[in-house]
Amino acid sequence: MPSTAQAGVMGSITKVSDWLKTRFSNIDIFDEHYQNEAKTNPFYALGQIFYLVWFIVMLTGLVLIMWYIPTKAGAFDSILKIQHQIPFGGLIRGMHKYGADAMIIAATMRMFRMFLCADYKPGKEFNIAIGLITILLSLYSGLTGYLLIWNQRAFWATKVFATFPTYMDQFPVMGDFYQPLVKSLHMGWNTAEFLLGAGGAITQETITRFFSIHLAFSLIPLIFVELYFYKNSYLRMPINWTKRLIITGMLVAVAVILPAAIGARSNPDVTPLPILSDWYFLGLYQMYKYLEPVVATEITILIPLTVILLPFIECAITGPEKELGKRPFIFMVALMGGINWIMFSFLIIFNIANIHNDPPYWRDFLWLMCDIGIIWQCCLFLTAADLKQRLKHASGAMVMGVLGAVQTLVAVIYYFMAKTELAMDPMMHQFAYQLVSWAIPDHGRLEDLCRKLMPVTQYTSLPYNMDFQDIVKTMFLPKGGPELKQALEQVNAACQQHTALDWLVTWMPTFTPATHPHYLSLTDFMVTNRWMHDYVMFADRMNPATQLPSPNSLNGVTLNYPLPIPTLDWGWMVGGVVTMLFAFGTVYWCRRGDEPQQAPAAAVPQTT
């Protein structure tokens, strides 16, 4: 007989297995389970429309391959030949281009429909991930195909876009400098090298890779989709021939009325201003104008992860509820995402962007829209009169309270980042240092030595992937006197002293395994990785008495630390606290169990 513990483990495994089986069995790639709804609601035909347009794009692409030459010397000329010399070449190219645009539009509209109509309920949360993969494959297929024209706009848009993966090497924890365990992977640089080749430059290797990836993004998914249809015996394209002809005719009409643009031949020596991508990436390019490249790259990765998590969060809030009026949180989040994408695209087209004044508006809009949705949702919970219903709402309010707490934490971090102009990495490092500084003997003296060896005013110009000692030896020691050498010796001696928390770091490899295979102590880790100096920089910039000049200037005026918080930012920063308190207050109200008592029934006189 299995023990109680074994039975509990087996029961948990069974529950997880059943949970996964239910969601895998409910997967929809092209709205296969909504064929009846599609007969009366065109929004439920979007998956089928995507599938049809996808085949049109693949068919026209196979025709274009017969004349396209994927080389730097021949690509643009082959496009000219297709457009002007091949019979119906311009029409086929136009249908291929506008068909790809239609795929992105259909996939995006389908994603919004899934959120607004709760098509991820019940047990269909994985469909959001499937829909997101559909959008991403369409986007990156469009990106790789965009370069194949080899005109000026596509060349420079690709050059800008494909360099952003290199900033992954500066990410917190996973970046080259911040986690020696993965330092040799060089994730950012290797990603750019994989995409572009030739050391990250746009060359013949790039066009060869983009051409092969462009084909792979259609042919490889097609194999899996066909296996999926075959295994489940689904009808591949249930829309009738009339609708198919209407959709195909629309693509033909657009291709005839608006022939696909060709542009000017690419010229690496002339940079066009502004540099613009195709329409579906314009909003992303505008975001890059507002943010530091590292932050913009982090958000680019965070957005799809958030989209995948949203259905699980919303199911935890409202359960099986599908009526949109009773799900205001997800409605506000979807509305916020759609407006941001449209407005950012509009702004970049008209070349409107002010990195100093615009971001506070967008931070307010982003966070406060979510806050309105949470408070609205909580208000609906507060109207519930049934005790059992209120208890169910308590767990949903708790989830929203956690979301408000996350926003509050982000606001606290942003407060210090805005005050000191520090990026996320040094900010997190200095916070971690403050938590363990008590274990470092005489840490105040060591901080003064770090301040002396590496001036904080020059910190922003230092290489991010060099440790403290190497920077001091190569950049500051040759210019200093014997007192700097003595100070470095004192710091290195302190790094050899044991602390109570050495077990946290002594097993980690360092940047110089040949001469320094492991960290000697917690002090060695904090000094060598510049975490102690990150704290020194933070402390000096938060101290008005130091009056350190800012590396940036605004309207020609040099700023001194600590900097003021933009007035608009206080809206979303305070909004997080208000939302958190309101949500947790809703939890308390829902759990207090004060259901109105019914009046006792009148006593019935007994008869004898």
Q: What is the pLDDT of residues 505-533, one digit of tens each?
A: 888 877 777 778 888 999 999 999 889 99
Percentages helix, strand, coil for the chain, rounded to the nearest 5?
70, 0, 30
CA 308 to chain centre: 11
Is 123 in a helix, a strand, or coil? coil
CB within 8 Å of 9: residues ≥ 6 apart: none
Q: Which domains does the chain have, with CATH numbers?
A: 34-322 (1.20.810.10), 424-560 (no CATH)
Share of the chain above pLDDT 70, in %: 89
Number of H helices, E strands in the chain: 22, 2
Angle, CA 578 vertex, CA 577 and CA 584 arms, to 5°: 90
**Is the confidence at residue 454, as pLDDT, over 70?**
yes
Reading phi first (left if > 0) and then psi (alpha if -120 to 50, else beta), residue 321 is in beta
Is 405 in a helix, a strand, or coil? helix
**Is the confidence at residue 177, as pLDDT, over 60?**
no
Give me the count of residues in the chain: 608
What pLDDT shows up at residue 593? 59
Residue 279 tokens read as 């329409």
What pLDDT shows up at residue 288? 81
Q: What is the pLDDT of residues 238-283, one digit of tens each?
A: 888 888 999 999 999 999 999 998 988 988 888 877 777 888 888 8
* Alpha-carbon span 210 to 146, nearest angstrom: 9
Q: Which residue has the higher pLDDT, 406 or 423?
A: 406
* Alpha-carbon span 161 to 558, nearest angstrom: 32
Angle between helices 204-232 and 187-196 (to 10 degrees): 90
What pLDDT shows up at residue 18? 87
* Alpha-carbon span 217 to 537, nearest angstrom: 47
Mean pLDDT computed over 368-389: 92
Neighbours of 47 (CB within 10 A): 26
* Alpha-carbon span 267 to 269, nearest angstrom: 5
* Alpha-carbon span 460 to 341, nearest angstrom: 32
Q: What is the mean pLDDT of the chain?
A: 86
Q: What is the pLDDT of residues 482-503, one digit of tens each?
A: 888 999 999 999 999 999 999 9
Residue 591 near residue 384 (C-beta atoms within 8 A): no
Is 151 in a helix, a strand, or coil? strand
Q: Which DSSP helix (H) or strand (E) runs through 81?
A: helix 75-84
CB within 8 Å of 567: residues ≥ 6 apart: 360
User: Residue 185: what are its φ and ψ, rounded to 5°?
Assistant: -75, -35
Angle, CA 366 vertex, CA 365 and CA 371 arms, to 5°: 90
* Alpha-carbon span 382 to 590, nearest angstrom: 7
Mean pLDDT computed over 23-44: 89
Could you tell me which of 339, 348, 364 has the C-alpha nearest to residue 287?
Answer: 348
Select, from the ranges 142-156, 286-300, 551-565, the one with the highest average predicted confidence (pLDDT): 142-156
